Structure 1
Amino acid sequence: MDWLGIGVFILAIGFAVLVAFIIPVLKKLTVTISKTADTVDQAEKSLAELTNETRLILYNTNETLMDVNDKIAKLDPIFDVVEDSGQAAHSVTSTIADFTEKRIERVKDGNKVVNKHHFKGLMKGVALIYYLREAKRKNKFKQEPVEVKLRNEVAK
């Protein structure tokens, strides 16, 4: 054999050894790629289910928010009435305080017994107590028919 044939023969043997080492690696690579494909398929299915659940949750959330907004819109007039009542009460108490302040200023006594700022606070406190008693009295009248009804039932 000549040198060229021997060189080709050595290259063929080296290539055969290389192929022998590469075959198990390629088999493991094939198994790994097939498992990866299965995992990707399962992930796609899970993602589709998750997307459907998320859409349902978002739809329910939007419905709930619309319901809450509707109910809050119905409460707005009540808050407006409460605000108007507070402003009216403030107006009344400040008017009373201003009136009494003017009366106190008319009295030109050398000894100022009452400080006008303290008197304003006192008048506002008196007005608050008055409003609280009125509210309590109104609630008492609302509760009395229930008590009378209960007394009549116990008496029977």
Structure 2
Amino acid sequence: MGARLRASCRAVVASPETTVATFALLLNFPWEILQAPLYDGMASSPHAIVSKACLQATAGDMVIMLIAHGAVAIGSRNRRWTVSASGAQLLLFVAFGLSITLIVEWLGTGGHWLSSWSYAPTMPLLPGTGIGLSPVLQWLILPPLTVWFAKRQLVGSA
């Protein structure tokens, strides 16, 4: 492998987008596994089906987080905003991801999505919305953790 290719690979691996994507995957997959029984039929489904559904949801979470990261990066004109995130940037990051998630949950549980899903009776709902509390909490808790981990990683690799 040539020096130029190695440098390009290092740049991709050390990019803020790769860092956010990595921590989005690492944090969201366990959350998806833990909340799976709150979705109709998941508690009694075979392991392979639950794992596949959780991996698909995790990939979607990663995409949402990358879109939210990109929105903040465009707004702040700084791809590495997570290194010194302001309160406003963090709030925008969370709000953007949460907004997308609320729309996706509404579409999915209302049968307006490519595929639909429903909540188990054990899923607590956000009052007045019919949207599950677990996915809402996911998007209030995991994005700040992702920023915290990304900052540590990006500062450490600089």
Larger Rg over CA atoms: 1
Structure with the larger helix share: 1
TM-score (norm 1): 0.31
TM-score (norm 2): 0.31
